[in-house]
Amino acid sequence: MEAELPVKEIMTPDVVTVDLGSSCVDAAERMLEHGIGGIIVTDDGRPVGILTERDLVDKVILRDLQASSVNVEDVMTSPLITVHSTELVNDVMRKMARLRIHRFPVVEEKRLVGIVTDTDLLVVSAQMGEIFAELIEMSAERFPPVSAREWEETGEEKDLVTHARQIMRDYGYQMLPVVDKNNHLSGVVTDKDMMRVTSTRSNVTVDGFVNEVAFVTPVDDLRSVLYRMAELRLRYLPVVRGVNDAVVIGVIGLSSIFDALKERAPDQRVSDIMATDIKTCQRSDTLNGVWSDLLDFGISGMPVMDGQEVVGVITVHDILKSGHARLDRESRHTRQVRVEKIMNTPLYTISRDETAKTAIERLLNLGVGRIYVVDGGGLSGVVDLYDLARSMIA
């Protein structure tokens, strides 16, 4: 069983390090070269600290210091928390969850011999019950601070659609779990459900918009979770305690899984994955028409054109955030609102010759769900998180 393995069996032995006397520029260049968010600092082979992207931002950039003149030793986090190579995976997982950190240097006789990350533990620990649940929570987008609630007993209070929509708008959530009074999962409401609300009344409850949805348990394999997300075209799924225990314990996001598994991205080009049927709108189009198109086509965003020129993008979240989703789609005011009033610029693009891994990293860094493919200055396709999810489980 994986829990009885010593951590040396799953660690990465080739650790990227930087010397104690190096400059922050040297450290940043090595982090960029290897695509990592933190680097171990060593002194004569002994790990003495860690320097992370957060350290560089907080202690160098925000203080307006010249990175080339600041030594790693002055801004690194120390003392370093390490684990011994003979410690069991079970114990390391518990320590990682308790301390809420994402990587441990592995040592033998105070010498650095490897590194183990939450990604390593997630991959090998898909059958480890409650401990894995703690790591899912660490790697997941945090559970929404308030859930839309559907009380089962007549006469009990029910959350309103306006409340659920406000949460989605304020926090950028695509989905909210709906739970009963015992915190058992009843279903979900999505941003597209909120767009279908045509009533201007403020007393409409969520129960009429609840959808059944696949859920995730702590023992699920990450590949099966990716498959469900891709098929349902949902970036988030609720996590429950178990198949026979529907208490909601969190929400896991597609971007978190990608972040954990991006090193295992397939060796494919964007051109092999992208969709070529691109739905667009004009900047002068009315919001009412675009709103209907997004729902009819089952998509969450589309490029905005000015004639033949791409000038921006409009998404479901833009519409919800703008506040126009509170209005009846057939109202005179909504018909008069033009796309150009709420669209975002610029349109994020990528070359068709880039790799799937690059596309994943670009989407994660930008915090968006899709990126458009350009070829010779024109749009030739679109690739989204779901396309990339399918490529990882093919």
Higher pLDDT, 262 or 15: 15
How distant is the alpha carbon of residue 4 from its chain centre?
A: 31
Higher pLDDT, 179 or 149: 179
Task: Return the pLDDT at 26.
Answer: 92
Confidence of residue 85 (pLDDT cuts 50, 70, 90): very high
Higher pLDDT, 37 or 39: 39
Confidence of residue 143 (pLDDT cuts 50, 70, 90): very low
If you search the block for the tokens 């045509």, which residue do you land on?
198
* Rg of the chain in Å (alpha carbons): 24
CA dist., res. 200 & res. 249, Å (int): 33
Confidence of residue 144 (pLDDT cuts 50, 70, 90): very low
Task: Return the pLDDT at 135.
Answer: 45
CA dist., res. 230 & res. 223, Å (int): 11
Contact 83, 104 (CB under 8 A): yes
Asked whether the predicted pLDDT for residue 315 surpasses 50, the reply is yes
Task: Please report the beta strands in 202-300, taking only residues with DSSP state E, as ranges in sequence order.
Answer: 236-242, 245-253, 281-282
Task: Please report the beta strands in 175-244, taking only residues with DSSP state E, as ranges in sequence order.
Answer: 175-179, 185-190, 236-242
Where do the domains of the chain lie, and which CATH numbers do they carry?
A: 2-134 (3.10.580.10), 140-263 (3.10.580.10), 270-393 (3.10.580.10)
Confidence of residue 67 (pLDDT cuts 50, 70, 90): confident
Q: In the chain, what percentage of residues exceed pLDDT 70?
A: 80
Taking phi over 0 as left and psi of -120 to 50 as alpha, with beta for the rest, 307 belongs to: left
Asked whether the predicted pLDDT for residue 291 surpasses 50, the reply is yes
Q: Which of 251, 259, 244, 57 is nearest to 141 (CA)?
A: 251
Asked whether the predicted pLDDT for residue 138 surpasses 50, the reply is no
**Helix %, strand %, coil % for the chain, to 5?**
40, 25, 35
The model's pLDDT over 203-250, given as tens digits with 9 standing for 90+, comes to 677 777 787 888 888 777 777 788 888 888 888 888 888 888 888 877
Question: Structure pTM?
Answer: 0.54
CA dist., res. 220 & res. 133, Å (int): 10
Task: Return the pLDDT at 23.
Answer: 93
